[in-house]
C-alpha cells in the first residue's frame, strides 16, 4: 500500500461508481471501525484516523475491507506533524449509504454515538461491530505487579468511549457472549480483568488488528 505525506486524490473521485453493500458481518465491522475512529465531515468523504506507528498493518486491512465492500480504494496519508494515518474514502454515494445505515455526519457524540439497530438485531453483526470498535478504541494491556518479590503479569482488555450509551451496548454484547464486563463509574470504559475473559473474547470476537493480537501473544508466550 502506498502512503502519501499529503492527501492525493482526484477532484472527481467522489463521483465514481461504487458498490452499496447490503447488511453483512463485514459491513457491520466497518461500521464499528467508523464508530470508533471514523468521521464524516463532508457530503462526499468519510475518514478513519489511526496511529501509523502502531496501526500501520491494521490500516492496510481497512483499505482492503473498503475495496471489498465498496469497490473503491481509499487514499491514505500521514500527517506531517503527528504520528497519524488518515484513510479517506471519497465517494458521495458511499457516504450517503453509510449515513442511511446509522452513521452521522458531523460531531458523533453530539448526535448520539450508538450501534445501529440493524446490527443489534443479529448476533453475527453485533460480534463483527464489536470487533471493529475494540480494534480502534480498545486495547489489550499487560499489568505487572509484585507479591513477595515475585513478579506477576496479568492481562486485561479495555474499551473506551465518551458515549455512555455505546459503553452500555458494548457491555451488553459481551454479557450475551458470557464474557463478564466491568463498567467504570464514569461510564467511559468497559474492562475485562480476567485472563480467561480476554481469551474468550479473542476466541468468540477475534481481532483484525495485529497490535491487539501481538500483545496477547507476547503475554501468552512470556
What are the structural domain ranges in the chain?
A: 13-107, 132-221
Which grid cell sits at 169? 451496548
Query: Which pLDDT score, from 0 to 100, does residue 185 have?
Result: 84
Q: Same CATH fold, 132-221 and 13-107?
A: yes
Query: Which pLDDT score, from 0 to 100, does residue 52 have?
Result: 86
At 36, phi and psi to the nearest 5?
Answer: -80, -70
User: What is the DSSP-derived secondary structure letter of residue 4?
Assistant: B
pLDDT-derived band at 109 (thresholds 50, 70, 90) equals confident
pLDDT-derived band at 4 (thresholds 50, 70, 90) equals low
3-state helix, strand, coil in the chain (%, to 5): 40, 25, 35
Level-2 CATH architecture, domain 132-221: Roll (3.10)
User: Which secondary-structure segment (H or E) carries 86?
Assistant: strand 84-90
Higher pLDDT, 137 or 112: 137
The CATH number of domain 13-107, selected from 3.40.980.10, 3.40.50.720, 2.40.170.20, 3.10.28.10: 3.10.28.10
* Full-model pTM: 0.90
Around Cβ 21, how many Cβ atoms within 10 Å?
A: 17
Distance of CA 190 to the CA centre of its chain: 15
**Tens digit of pLDDT for each residue in 66-96?**
999 999 999 998 887 778 999 999 999 999 9
User: What is the DSSP-derived secondary structure letter of residue 54?
Assistant: T
Residue 4: left (phi > 0), alpha (psi -120 to 50), or beta?
Answer: beta
pLDDT-derived band at 220 (thresholds 50, 70, 90) equals confident
Amino acid at each position: 500500500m502506498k502512503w502519501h505525506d499529503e492527501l492525493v486524490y482526484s477532484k472527481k473521485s467522489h463521483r465514481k461508481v461504487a458498490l452499496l453493500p447490503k447488511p453483512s458481518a463485514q459491513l457491520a465491522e466497518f461500521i464499528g471501525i467508523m464508530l470508533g475512529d471514523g468521521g464524516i465531515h463532508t457530503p462526499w468523504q468519510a475518514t478513519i484516523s489511526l496511529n501509523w506507528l502502531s496501526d500501520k498493518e491494521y490500516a492496510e486491512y481497512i483499505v482492503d475491507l473498503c475495496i471489498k465492500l465498496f469497490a473503491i480504494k481509499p487514499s491514505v496519508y500521514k500527517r506531517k506533524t503527528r504520528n497519524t494515518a488518515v484513510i479517506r474514502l471519497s465517494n458521495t454515494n458511499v457516504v450517503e449509504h453509510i449515513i442511511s445505515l446509522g452513521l452521522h455526519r458531523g460531531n458523533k457524540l453530539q448526535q448520539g454515538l450508538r450501534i445501529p439497530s440493524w446490527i443489534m438485531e443479529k448476533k453475527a453483526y453485533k460480534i463483527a461491530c464489536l470487533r471493529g470498535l475494540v480494534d480502534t478504541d480498545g486495547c489489550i494491556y499487560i499489568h505487572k505487579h509484585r507479591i513477595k518479590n515475585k513478579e506477576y503479569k496479568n492481562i486485561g482488555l479495555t474499551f473506551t468511549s465518551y458515549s455512555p450509551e455505546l459503553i452500555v451496548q458494548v457491555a451488553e454484547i459481551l454479557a450475551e457472549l458470557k464474557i463478564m464486563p466491568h463498567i467504570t463509574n464514569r461510564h467511559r470504559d468497559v474492562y475485562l480483568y480476567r485472563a480467561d475473559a480476554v481469551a474468550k473474547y479473542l476466541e468468540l470476537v477475534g481481532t483484525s488488528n495485529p497490535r491487539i493480537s501481538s500483545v496477547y501473544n507476547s503475554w501468552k508466550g512470556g
